Amino acid sequence: MLKIILKIVGHPATIIAGVVSGLAFGLHFSESAKLLQPFGKLYVALLSMCVLPILVTALTWGIGQMLRDPTTRKLFPRMAGFYVLLLLIPFAAALLVALLFAPGADLGDATSAALGQQMANQQALTQGSPFVDLLDRMVPDNVFSALSSAAFLKIVFFSILLGLALGVIDSPGADTTLQVLNSLYAAFAKVFQWVLVLLPIGLFCIAAGNMAEADPELLSALLHYVGFFYLAGALAILSLSLYLGLISRKTPWRVLADLKHPLIMAFATDNPLVALYSSMRALSESFGVDRRVTETVAPFGVIANQHGQVLLFTFTVLFLAQVYGVTLGIAGTAVVAVACLISGATAFGGGAALAPIMAPILLSAGIPDSLSVVVLATTQAAVAPLGSLLTVLGTAALAVITAKPLADARGNADKAARPTQGQEVPNDAP
């Protein structure tokens, strides 16, 4: 009976119903929906409770195991190369939509007035906000402080170094340590599965609370921005699905169906980290990705392979350039491309918190940065879900393409071991 209940609760239709009904409830009963916000935050906290230990144990174990095997050790350069290449997909999608449709041009007096008022109200958010250098955000001075403050990029950096060390040291204790990490991962994954039983209810509360917080007037003022951002996102999703389908011999629809659980979770919670365990499970079960690759790429990807943020950074910079009438040209676009790829790929968080990271990119291109906090803060509830979904999909593509040599080798071995049928033995007699 319990298995039947869990199957119903975990069915995509049940999960989607929880999200849709939550959005409808938040739209029509906003005051009541606000009362559900604490429960939504509590559920996200329950999910996040397991995410950090899963991330550390999976990433450290995955890298350590990959390095201790000569076959998988060779995959690291491949992962690094495709990491950069795949990030170009959301950048190209944002660039194409922004150049073709120019959503920031000719916004109209009403929209400009609404944005101007909000800029005046929120100007203080950008004052005194220093640009946090990538290295400062990545290298921890105290690993325990990074763990306690959930500084994910620093935690990933430390986990990578620890995994590299465990993978190269010549000590029997390294194998024992990796086994312990594997056991800890399994335990945290089990707790995460227990928490997932409440997923539809949790997503209902999250969706209702987010919808109740949305400002319809400002979203209407930035309808062009949100609408064309989703167009760029849809183009990036289609491109990644086609690519992933090509290398895994699946249709784009089949790819999305196999990744339905992590994609829905990322979209509904606005957080790709929450979908980490589901992503690793889907990659192993539906795409046959070697577990060592899965548990290396997936934890790294949801933190430092932010396809959604690259799309957001690129599209927002180009949108604001059009708002202010700044022509970037080829050289300016190239500078923006490099900056958005580097900063966006490792930028965690959303809304106004991204404005200080984006500010140097805008200023280097001659674009005023004062409006960025308004656009990012106002549209976060609308654009963040798509960005999180895109990050999960991009990370899945990176994992599958990294592991492709292993899949090809396994397929060739299976083919060679399969007995030949229907073949005649050649007659050597004259």
pLDDT tens track of the chain, all 430 residues? 656 766 777 677 787 788 888 878 887 787 888 888 888 888 878 877 877 888 889 889 888 888 888 888 889 899 989 999 999 999 999 999 999 998 877 665 555 555 554 444 444 444 333 334 556 667 777 777 777 776 777 888 888 899 889 988 888 888 899 899 889 988 988 888 888 788 888 888 888 887 776 666 556 667 778 899 999 999 999 999 999 999 999 999 999 999 998 998 899 888 888 899 999 999 999 999 998 899 899 998 888 889 999 999 999 999 988 888 888 888 888 888 888 888 888 777 777 678 878 888 888 788 887 777 778 877 887 888 999 999 999 999 999 999 998 887 776 666 666 655 555 444 443 3
Q: How many angstroms from the chain centroid is the CA of residue 167?
A: 27
Q: How many angstroms from the chain centroid is the CA of residue 99?
A: 25
Q: Is 285 helix (H, G, I), strand (E, B) or coil?
A: helix
| 319 CB-near residues (< 8 Å, 6+ apart) | 98, 103, 104, 225, 375
The token duo for 243 is 């690519």
* Whether the model pTM is above 0.85: no
Taking residue 11's Cβ as centre, other Cβ atoms within 10 Å add up to 14
**Tokens 């760029």, located at residue:** 232
CA distance 233 to 351: 17
**Tokens 């990490």, located at residue:** 181
DSSP assignment of 342-407: HHHHT----GGGGHHHHHHHHHHTT---TTHHHHHHHHHHHHHHHHHHHHHHHHHHHHHHHTHHHH
Q: Using an 8 Å Cβ cutoff, are 307 and 390 in contact?
A: yes
What is the CATH number that goes with domain 11-408? 1.10.3860.10
Determine the pLDDT at residue 96.
94
Determine the pLDDT at residue 130.
34
**Phi, psi for residue 174 in degrees, rounded to 5:** -65, -45
Q: Where are the domains of the chain?
A: 11-408
Taking residue 359's Cβ as centre, other Cβ atoms within 10 Å add up to 20
The token duo for 4 is 């039947």
Nearest of 305, 301, 304, 335 to residue 318 by alpha carbon: 335
Q: Using an 8 Å Cβ cutoff, are 316 and 289 in contact?
A: no
The token duo for 297 is 């790429």
The token duo for 180 is 């312990």
CA distance 383 to 67: 38
The token duo for 244 is 């992933």
